[in-house]
Structures are given as C-alpha cells and as structure tokens.
Amino acid sequence: MTEYTISLQAYAKAVLHCAKYPWATVHGLFLAEKKDGKVRMVDAIPLAHNWTQLTPMFDVALQQAQVYAKTKGWSIGGYYVAYEDTETTQLSASGTLLARAVSAGSEGVVAFVIDAKKLGPGSAQPGLVPYLNVDSQWKEQSGAFSGAKSKGGAATFVLENNRVLASTLKLVAERADIGIHDFDEHLDDVTLDWLQNNALSERIRTA
Amino acid sequence: MLKRSVSQAGDDAWLVYEQIILAALDEGQIDLAKSVLFILDTRFKDSQRVKRLSGLVMEALGHTDEAQTLYTEMLEKDATNVLASKRLIALLKSQGQIPLAIRELVTYLDTHGNDFEAWLELSHLYLSQHLYPQAAFCLEEVILQQPANHYFHLHYAELQYTMGNLDVALKEYLRVVELSTDNVRGFYGVKLTADRLMTESKKGKSSGNKKDQQSNRMDNVPQQATLERLSELATERLVSVYNRASDTSKKTAEKWLKE
C-alpha cells in the first residue's frame, strides 16, 4: 500500500493556479520524490488555463517537464485539474486521456481533481480528489485525506503537516497567485519560469 | 446627480439608462436596475430591447424559469430576434444545459451565419461535449470569415492535432507562423508535428506490415526532406527566441529541441 504525501509547495501552487484563473479549467503536473516505497509530491508545475482539452502544447510541456524532473532526481507523480464547472469532481473523458499520457512516462501516477467546494476557509480537508489507475480505469479514492484508509485500501493520502491549509489560504488572500506562471503564459513570454516559479516557491517557503 | 446629468443628455438619456441597468446588474445592485428598468418600461411599452433587459434582471434574481419563458415568447413572436436568442443561449449555458444551448445556437446561426463569434462559441460548446469534428467545422467557418487572424488558425491547428490529423495540423501551424512573427506556440507546433510525421512515416516504411502502412491515412504529408527542413527551421527560430529566457526554462527547452 502506497503512502502519498502532498507538500505545501505542491498544494499551494495548484490552488494558486486555480485562484489566478477562477473562471477557467486549469491543469498541471505534480513532481514526485520516491523513497522507501513512499511518494512525496514535492512541487507543482502549472500547465494551462486555456484550450485545456487540446493536446499539442500539453505534449510539449509534459516532455519538457519530464526532462526537468530527471535533472532533480524526481519524476512526474501526478496530474491535477480544476474544472470550470465547480460542481463536478469527476475526472472527465479528456482528463482521463491526459492522465494516461502522463502515466505513459512514469509509474504510479495519481490524477487529482480539485474540489472547489473544499478550498474555502471552513474546510478541514484539502480540496483534492485522487484517482488511481486500477486495471486501466481511473478509480476515485473517496475519503482520502480523512485519515481513514481509502476505499480499496490501495493508498493513503496525507498533507505534509497541519499548517498546509492555513498557509495556502493566507497566500490566496495575499493574492500570491499573481506570481504563478504556467506554460500557457510562458508561450506568450518565454522569460517566465513555468517549471520552477522560483520567486513564488520562496514566498511559499516563508509563508 | 443622476437625474441632473440624465436630463442634460436629452434623447441619449435612454441609452444611458440601458447602460446603467447593465452596470447595476454587473455590480449586483439589482434594486437600482429594477427602478431604472421601470423608467424605460414606462417610456417604451412593449419594446423588445426593454423586454430583454427585464429578462436580464430576472436572471440576476435567479428566476431562470421566468427568464427562459420570456425569451422563448420573444422568439415565438420573432424567430430572428438576436437579443432574445443570445440571452436564451447564455441562460442555457449557465444552467449547464449544453445540448439545448447547442441546438439554439445552431438555429441562430441558420439565420446569422456571418456572426463569426457565434461560430466560435458553438465550437467551444461542441468541444465541451467532446464532439471534435463538429467543433472543427465551426472553426473552419470562423477562419473563412477571419482568414488573416493567426489566433484562429492556431486554435484550429491544435484541435486537428488533438484529432490526430497531423498533416492538417502542420499546415495550419505553418499558416500561424506565416501570419505572425516568431510565434512560439506556432513553432513548437511545427516542430512537434513535423517530427511526429517523420517518425510515423519511417515506422510505416520499415515495417512491411500492411496495417501500419494503411494506418498512415493522412493525404497531404510533405516529403521527408521537407519535414526535416521545417523541423530545423522551427528549432532555429525557437533557439533564437529562447536566448531571452530564464535559465531553467531555456536549458530544458534546448534539451528538448535537440532530441
């Protein structure tokens, strides 16, 4: 059974990506560090907020992200998506295809749908619904992050510590989302660092 | 203050009232919108334009069924009423009733086929339902009406790539870079499609397998030599653009370009 830990960097960046484009579907990748059978999502790479169903730039970004991950001794551990329609937490047909594309290059990739309803100050849990690839089907791990074993007992999901949610809310309130740049933005201005978002990483570290 | 400036506006006052209603609705000041609407309704009895505004107020209040009835009635009286059509479509879309919204928009386009923004909207609705060929058809209409706009060629190229039509995607990406200068998305697209076309035709040739050769059903694939030169051109332009980039992105992009 695999234990997945989500770091503040990964969670905050994914949420800030959503906060920057609240009217759109946004998606991105999680970078994973694997040690002793445990998987830690150490960072997030935001990809797009426009034409998210169209695949060419996704292919380019994924390939480049894989090159980058290798240089740090990491792998692509996850695909996250937040839908324009905030009511749904179901991984869509195109989301399934994209998650599968990510899986082609790495083992044990987890797909996460962001649950907008759990992003507010009242929520005690992260707004992430994980999907694991079981027998070529992406199965929702309901009840993940609740402390109990997820359905099927295939995996456990935890946040890095109990300050992740509060820190993330603080960053959103401070409009730190202005500092996140995804691959879409990079294509319009190549001087923007979409892979590391260094300045933002620093801000998150000190949040 | 409002009254004074409005009386100075004379007949333009009515336009100002309309704008006030729209602004008030945007700001959530529904009571203000309603009072101004009353003024317009008094002056212009039975006006389609005023009716549409009252429909907007209903929508803002969440009375979507009433609004829908109103717009449908307006369309029954006059099927070509642009204001009512557009509001009905927007309403259906906001309720998540995409198939119905598509149906109404198709009806609208039957009469107003030169509204390229409507074709674009329909394309997005089809895309949300994963109806890629239909979405492509709509984008083709947009391009027919706006052939010099590289953005639409780009959108079309990306959709064709997603559909697996690499030959069409390549052609459209080339159009994009023709119509704009050093378009990064465009050149990435050229390189991506040219490289994939080269790989796939090599696969088709080396395997004597008839199935593989048949699966290369694309009609307009350029020759290998042309594909290579296109890939090199794209690489060269991208390297030149990336000279301005930050370290990490630049190093990673250059690694990718060399592969």
Find the domain containing B242 and state its range. 157-259
In a domain, B133, yes or no: no
Substitution target from B126, B252, B255 for chain A, most A beta carbons within 10 A: B252
ipTM of the complex: 0.92
In a domain, B253, yes or no: yes
Residue B212: pLDDT band with limits 50, 70, 90: very low
Answer yes or no: do B178 and B250 share one domain.
yes
Residues 6+ apart with CB under 8 A from A16: A168, A171, A172, A176, A177, A179, A180, A200
**B161–A55: do the CB atoms touch at under 8 Å?**
yes
CB B227 within 8 A of CB B197: yes
In whole angstroms, how far apart are CA B73 and each of B55, B68, B95, B110?
11, 9, 19, 19
In a domain, B107, yes or no: no
**A54–B245: do the CB atoms touch at under 8 Å?**
no
Answer yes or no: do B162 and B89 share one domain.
no
Q: What is the mean pLDDT of chain A?
A: 93
**A67–B255: do the CB atoms touch at under 8 Å?**
yes
3-state SS, chain B, equals: CHHHHHHHHHHHHHHHHHHHHHHHHHCCCHHHHHHHHHHHHHHCCCCHHHHHHHHHHHHHCCCHHHHHHHHHHHHHHCCCCHHHHHHHHHHHHHCCCHHHHHHHHHHHHHHCCCCHHHHHHHHHHHHHCCCHHHHHHHHHHHHHHCCCCHHHHHHHHHHHHHCCCHHHHHHHHHHHHHHCCCCHHHHHHHHHHHHHHHHHHHHHHHCCCHHHHHHCCCCCCCCHHHHHHHHHHHHHHHHHHHCCCCHHHHHHHHHHHHC
Q: Taking Cα atoms as reference points, which of B57, B97, B92, B54 lies closest to residue B74?
A: B54
**A190–B245: do the CB atoms touch at under 8 Å?**
yes
Whether A133 has its CB under 8 Å from any CB of chain B: the answer is no
* pTM across the whole model: 0.87
Give yes or no for residue B208 having a pLDDT over 60: no
**B159–A187: do the CB atoms touch at under 8 Å?**
no
pLDDT of residue A136: 87
The encoded tokens of residue B123 equal 């394309």
In a domain, B123, yes or no: no
Domain boundary residue among B60, B95, B130?
Answer: B95
Set of chain B residues whose Cβ sits within 8 Å of the Cβ of A191:
244-246
Domain boundary residue among B75, B95, B115?
Answer: B95
CATH of the domain at B64: 1.25.40.10
Number of domains in chain B: 2
User: pLDDT tens for residues A95-129?
Assistant: 999 999 999 989 899 999 999 999 999 898 999 99
**A190–B242: do the CB atoms touch at under 8 Å?**
yes
**Which among A130-144, B17-31, B174-188 has the top mean pLDDT?**
B174-188
In a domain, B136, yes or no: no
In a domain, B142, yes or no: no
Substitution target from A47, A51, A76, A86 for chain B, most B beta carbons within 10 A: A51
pLDDT of residue B211: 47
Whether B151 has its CB under 8 Å from any CB of chain A: the answer is no
pLDDT of residue B213: 47
Set of chain B residues whose Cβ sits within 8 Å of the Cβ of A51:
155, 158
Whether B130 has its CB under 8 Å from any CB of chain A: the answer is yes
- Report how many Cβ contacts below 8 Å link chain A to chain B: 70
Report the interhelical angle of B132-145 vs B150-162 (nearest 10°): 160
Residue A194: pLDDT band with limits 50, 70, 90: very high
**A64–B256: do the CB atoms touch at under 8 Å?**
yes
Domains of chain A: 2-200 (3.40.140.10)
